[in-house]
Amino acid sequence: MSRTILVTGGTGYIGSHTSVRLAERGFDVVIADDLSNSSAEVADVVAELAGKPISFENLDLTDGTAVDRLFDRHPIEAVIHFAGLKAVGESVQVPLRYYRTNLVSTLNLLDAMATHGVRQLVFSSSATVYGQPEALPIPETARTSPTNPYGRTKLMIEDICRDVAATNDGWDISLLRYFNPVGAHPSGELGEDPSGIPNNLVPYVMQVAVGRREKVQIFGDDWDTPDGTGVRDYIHVLDLADGHLAALDDGSERLNRGCSVYNLGTGSGSSVLDIVRSTERVSGRQIPFEIIGRRAGDIATSLADPTKANRQLDWRADRGLESMLADAWRWQSKHPNGFAVAAAH
């Protein structure tokens, strides 16, 4: 029998691509999502791309009773936890909302897992837990000092997971700190479709390219980087999805259970201007931009050292930047208004 995997936030960007990969591998997938930043239509697309049914539950993880009943309804054996608020800038403006949503939802999830005897968790953490890096690329052993409430919620959840695993009650938890996911499914039928104004660079650039937005705002050109704009380690969303499957497989086979942390990234960086220029090449469109002030909570450069995941999970990111952006453009050009707007009409 195939294993049943709960994917929280599974209609979101990374969760949906991971759900496709899981279903393609023969897992039974249960998606739980409150649709606060995604569309229910995504679950249908996941099922179509995977070629098998997907169970979808419209559910708010901050409702503990609803989470417990979810585990009553499905024979869940492991959980991949993506659900949560994720915009750095917004977290600075409304920190209490971020702490309440991200922490309470995770506590409810862990409570339900404990009650129902589910002990394997893959958690969607973030490179933001490192804050301003002391050295590049960043290893998992680097000091953690997040510079914004979003990153602090991720680090708090990591600490909660470590404490839970330390109870020696059979827990197997993988904390995946990933860097900057971009790209889309090569079919062009699944991609990043944020509600409202995108908080991440690439979907914003793609919306400018497709004509939905006037220009890209670049938050500072005076950073200590080669061209003055922020540098990030961009990773294709499908490489990232495969990292979650690698962690899931590793956990199911590993004898020494507990809590492990892994960076998921490429180890190489691209600047904001690199993204703009590469998008111009893959789309054939001019991308107008303007330089504005730095954004609160940002840092100059963030690069992963993915050696541990390469070695212990037998995983690596294979796709390059232009491949990522070409897939993102294929999605955006096929869906200029995204899922949510198309579904509304």
Q: What is the pLDDT of residue 234?
A: 98
Give the integer Cα–Cα distance in Å for 207 and 141: 37
Give the integer Cα–Cα distance in Å for 305 and 117: 34
Residues making up the chain, counted from first to last? 345
Q: What is the pLDDT of residue 253?
A: 59
If one counts the domains in the chain, the total is: 1
Q: What is the pLDDT of residue 341?
A: 38
Structure tokens at 294: 């730095």
The pTM score is: 0.94
Looking at the annotation, which residues are catalytic? 150
Residue 67: C-alpha distances to residues 64, 84, 154, 164 (Å):
5, 14, 20, 18
Residue 342: C-alpha distances to residues 45, 216, 217, 241, 328 (Å):
13, 24, 26, 26, 18
Give the integer Cα–Cα distance in Å for 102 and 61: 9
Mean pLDDT of residues grouped by 10 in the chain (345 residues)? 92 96 97 92 95 96 98 98 92 96 98 97 96 93 94 98 93 96 97 87 97 97 97 98 93 69 97 98 98 88 96 95 98 88 33
In the sheet where 270-271 sits, what is the strand order?
270-271, 231-232, 301-302
Q: What is the pLDDT of residue 255?
A: 46
Locate the DSSP E strands across the chain.
Answer: 4-8, 28-33, 55-58, 78-81, 120-126, 172-178, 180-182, 216-219, 231-232, 234-236, 259-264, 270-271, 289-292, 301-302
Q: What is the pLDDT of residue 298?
A: 82
Cis peptide before 137 (omega within 30 of 0): yes
Cβ atoms of residues 19 and 48 within 8 Å: no
Q: Is 203 exposed, middle or buried (0-12, 13-18, 19+ CB in 10 A)?
A: buried
Whichever domain contains 11, its CATH number is 3.40.50.720
Query: What is the crossing angle of helices 321-334 and 201-209, to 10°?
Result: 50
Domain range for 218: 4-344
